[in-house]
A and B are shown apart, each in its own frame.
Chain A
Amino acid sequence: MTARTLYDKIWDDHVVHTSEDGTCLLYIDRHLVHEVTSPQAFEGLRMTGRTVRAPEKTIAVPDHNVPTTAGRDTHIDNEESRIQVEALDKNARDFGINYYPVSDIRQGIVHIVGPEQGWTLPGMTVVCGDSHTATHGAFGSLAHGIGTSEVEHVLATQTLIQKKSKNMKVEITGSLLPGVTAKDITLAVIGQTGTAGGTGYVIEYCGQAIRDLSMEGRMTVCNMAIEGGARAGLIAPDEKTFAYCMGRPHAPKGAKWEAAVSYWKTLFTDEGAHFDKVITIKGEDIAPVVTWGTSPEDVLPITASVPAASDFTGGKVDAAQRSLDYMGLKPGTKLTDVKIDAVFIGSCTNGRIEDLRAAAAVLKGKKIAPGVRGMVVPGSGLVRLQAEEEGLAQIFTDAGFEWRLAGCSMCLGMNPDQLAPGERCAATSNRNFEGRMGRGGRTHLMSPIMAAAAAITGHLTDVRTVLAEMA
């Protein structure tokens, strides 16, 4: 048999039907659903008299536009948001799918709830009407975002019409230096490949620095595969993956667990398998990074200065100028001199317990700089609970952060958590697009420890200087 990549293996195991032109019908193991991209799909089912084919494989949770303040389980002020959440309540009930309502402690960001509850397992196909579905690739599952029409297609048929992508390998060799995290890896990769560099590919991340990451870190890396344009990002499962899955509510038990693990152990790229594109980065070469512009590819080490539009070529010249104007930045300014107004710690990229631990370790015993607003939004109710039990919540509130309920929050600003025009935010989220966190809001993407460092000083900061003072 020819040598296959991890992606090839998962793909082959899920092909239901192949047409003459190579279009495949792919079986879907897990379908995650949230309130914003699903109402039209359920409406479509009702209009055509169709049902949900596999409700037991369908999991819904409201996350995008739920407020993160107390009282939301009884009342949501914004009428449109309330209607969407109520529609999901009703659709989940009517179609009999698994559901975590706002009132449930397990509610949270869909990409944090899925792994936490053991719905996401190695070798699975996982889809959701959300581009950051790529997160689940950290388990060695093929996971990607789909549109609402495809949501309806999966609800009705438990399959998706797909053409196979090409294989791309991103290898991070060696080890990361102190102060460098999974977020810096994933941003550094996008900085190198560009936001369209992964278009048409499924990325497999590998190498020692990836192996060394925790499951949380691997989720951060895969989460932003979409920001590099890739359909999905994958990491081969290993003992860390199995240990993370074991004992979770929806993970298999007993003999089924044994059968699953022996199958999962076959999920790796064979020696000599073909990759259409290979990128190799030395772990030691990655610095703590931030974004300066309005595209996730606008990545620079924190030690650099704001670029000029003339540093770029082609269509990027005008785009860079537009970004500089929008971000209110002057070329040549040291990034560490850029003052901030707000800090956001959370999102499906960095809203897990490990992220909160890392940020809290930097913030312990310190205060947010005067005039800076800080918000921590745990990725799920269970992350929130754990952080409270570990004393992290206290560290955040002592430092002056607001400690919120779980949801997507400011990452996309669909709920009341938004930046005001011109406000500048150090954010652990995934997109720095114009208006993303609120119209006119300015977003700098970075790791949780970099965001914590910025909170203390009030400007973009090299976390290594803060870590050195702590040592």
Chain B
Amino acid sequence: MDKFTTLTGIAAPMPLVNIDTDMIIPKQFLKTIKRTGLGVNLFDEMRYTLDGKEIPEFVLNQPAYRKSQIIVAGDNFGCGSSREHAPWALLDFGIRAVISTSFADIFFNNCFKNGILPIVLPPEAVDVLMKDAEKGENARQTVDLEAQTVTTSDGQSFSFEIDPFRKHCLLNGLDDIGLTMEKAKSIDTFEAKYNQSHSWV
């Protein structure tokens, strides 16, 4: 997993609430057995017509936002299906941070496993960042994970909260499984005791 430290990039405004993972990556693209190559189909049904032509109004098809690295989104981003293909598609497109007032639980977890930073901010802050993002390609926002801040193109900063363990893993690009494997002894001990007390499991 790539580290996440700081990021300065174009932010795409997507004010729609309840953007679900079916929208982020429709089911026909879940048939892959790889993690890569999904960026071209990110938001596929919002982004392309039935015959595969770009829909010019869709934000990521607009010249200013084709190289977005941040999405500023409406409430409850990532709800629905647990598909990790959603963060894989975002990452493959080049998105490294998503900002919203709230995220669905499983999507939120999945982001951290892939070096994407989901940032929760109060509605007032998201409003300011949304308006800033709407300015277009010269409006680059900056995310500083160490300092836990997001800064608009004109220098207005907002602080965000993040779980310390997740911050540590993102800053250092750490693999969860490797970290848990270091606790193998604890798992062995637990399992031995548990198998005695819960023999039916």
Interface, chain A (partner B; CB < 8 A): 13, 16-17, 19, 21, 23, 25, 27, 29, 36-37, 39-40, 43, 48, 50, 53, 57, 64-65, 78, 80-81, 83-84, 87, 121, 123-124, 129-131, 144-150, 152-153, 156-159, 161, 163, 195-196, 199-200, 226, 229-231, 252, 256-257, 259-260, 263, 295, 297, 314-316, 318-319, 322, 412-414, 421, 431, 433-436, 439-440
- Asked if B136 CB lies within 8 Å of chain A CBs, one says no
Could you tell me the distance in whole angstroms from the C-beta of A299 to the nearest C-beta in chain B?
Answer: 14
- Give the docked Cα–Cα distance between A48 and B183 (Å): 17
If the complex has contacts A37-B83, A40-B33, A157-B180, are A195 and B199 also in contact, measured as CB distance less than 8 A?
A: no
| B198–A156 touching, CB < 8 Å | no
- Given contacts A161-B180, A196-B79, are A433 and B20 in contact (CB under 8 A)? yes
A260 surroundings in chain B (CB, below 8 A) = 200
Partner of B79, one of A16, A121, A229: A229
**Contacts A21-B164, A37-B82, A435-B45 known; A84 to B31 CB distance under 8 Å?**
yes
Chain B residues closer than 8 Å to A83, beta-carbon distance? 31, 33
Closest to B110 in A: A147
Interface size, chain B (Cβ < 8 Å): 56
Among A64, A130, A161, chain B packs the most CB atoms within 10 A around the CB of A161
On whether the beta carbons of A131 and B81 are closer than 8 Å, the reply is yes
What's the A-B contact tally at a CB cutoff of 8 Å? 188
Assuming the A-B contacts A37-B84, A257-B200, are A145 and B106 also in contact, with contact meaning beta carbons closer than 8 angstroms in the complex?
yes
Which residues of B in the span 148-165 have a Cβ within 8 Å of any Cβ on A?
Answer: 163-165
Complex Cα distance A229/B82, Å?
12
Chain A nearest CB from B33 CB (Å) reads 4
Interface string of B50-63 (1 = CB under 8 A from A): 10000000000000
Whether the pair B80, A131 counts as a contact (CB closer than 8 A) is yes
The reply to whether B84 and A80 form a contact with Cβ atoms under 8 Å apart is no
The 8 Å CB contact of A147, one of B84, B198, B199, is B84
B68 CB-CB contact with A under 8 Å: no
Q: Are A433 and B177 in contact, with the CB atoms below 8 A?
A: no
- Closest Cβ of chain A: how far from B45's Cβ, in Å? 5
Q: Taking CB as reference atom, which chain A residue is nearest B169? A: A161
Among the listed B16, B28, B109, which residue makes an inter-chain contact with A150, where contact means beta carbons less than 8 Å apart?
Answer: B109
Min Cβ gap B58→A in Å is 13
B7 at interface, CB cutoff 8 A: no
A349, chain B: closest CB distance, angstroms: 14
Query: A314 vs B190: C-alpha distance in the bound complex, in angstroms?
Result: 49
Q: Is the CB of B33 within 8 A of A199?
A: no
B16 surroundings in chain A (CB, below 8 A): 315, 318-319, 322
